[in-house]
Amino acid sequence: AQSVAQPEDQVNVAEGNPLTVKCTYSVSGNPYLFWYVQYPNRGLQFLLKYITGDNLVKGSYGFEAEFNKSQTSFHLKKPSALVSDSALYFCAVRDRANAGKSTFGDGTTLTVKP
Amino acid sequence: EAGVAQSPRYKIIEKRQSVAFWCNPISGHATLYWYQQILGQGPKLLIQFQNNGVVDDSQLPKDRFSAERLKGVDSTLKIQPAKLEDSAVYLCASSPLGQGVNNEQFFGPGTRLTVL
């Protein structure tokens, strides 16, 4: 069965500092990996995805993520955090071999302090 | 373009009552998903449609939950009878068929269900 782990419930960083939100996954076939963000009282929004090719993927709002096959990880990063980045972040995996079924992690709350 | 529409936004019912949620996906999106998001957890896929056919409903509690997408456009999710543990946000999402399963999903605002 496929699964996603986000080991940190909460990540706190100071504005201007780099941020990392961690994600590891387990899937039998080739993974398609996604990051979504959920702002208060708003629906989930797509940030970026890894399908194939370059291990470093760039997405919306200056975010990027690095796919590491050997460590089965897909950590979300940003070089310089903004207060407006404070939100709930979800990692998700889809397995092409499993009809594309989506599995989400339980989310990480990012708080960026001024 | 208009986003994924869901209604109602909030619903409060008593246990053993029935409830229905409606979703209208983004125009042209062939794939529609229903998720259950319990507080403090990530979304859990309940059912996935491609056009009007079911792709995956392995996590749908079929003794009480049902869903349909008769014309391959909008969809209804029903719970009958509801239990306390069904209290959650029910999310609808859609994605284009296009490149297949590597497409991102577009989410609606969700319906917050409280079962008393």
Task: Give B7-36 pLDDT, tens digit per residue.
Answer: 999 999 999 999 999 999 999 999 999 999
pLDDT of A50 reads: 93
Closest CA to B29 of B110, B109, B92: B92
Question: Mean pLDDT, to the nearest integer, of A21-50?
Answer: 92
- Select the residue of A36, A101, A105 nearest B45 (Cβ to Cβ): A101
- Judging contacts by C-beta atoms under 8 Å, the chain A residues touching residue B104 are 34, 46, 49
Cross-chain Cβ contact B104/A34 below 8 Å:
yes
Q: What is the length of chain B?
A: 116
| Residue of A102, A104, A106 to mutate for B, most B C-beta atoms under 10 A | A102
Pick the residue from chain B with its C-alpha nearest to A30. B102
Using one digit for the tens of pLDDT, what is the confidence trace for B31-52? 999 999 999 999 999 999 988 8
pLDDT band at B1 (very low <50, low <70, confident <90, very high): low
**Mean pLDDT, chain A, integer:** 93
Using one digit for the tens of pLDDT, what is the confidence trace for A38-91? 998 788 999 999 988 889 999 999 999 999 999 999 999 999 999 999 999 999
pLDDT of B108 reads: 95
Are B113 and B46 spatial neighbours (Cβ–Cβ below 8 Å)?
Answer: no
pLDDT of A95 reads: 80
- Chain A nearest-CA distance from B38, in A, is 10
Cα separation, B107 vs B91, in Å, equals: 7
Pick the residue from chain B with its C-alpha nearest to A52. B102
- Judging contacts by C-beta atoms under 8 Å, the chain B residues touching residue A92 are 42
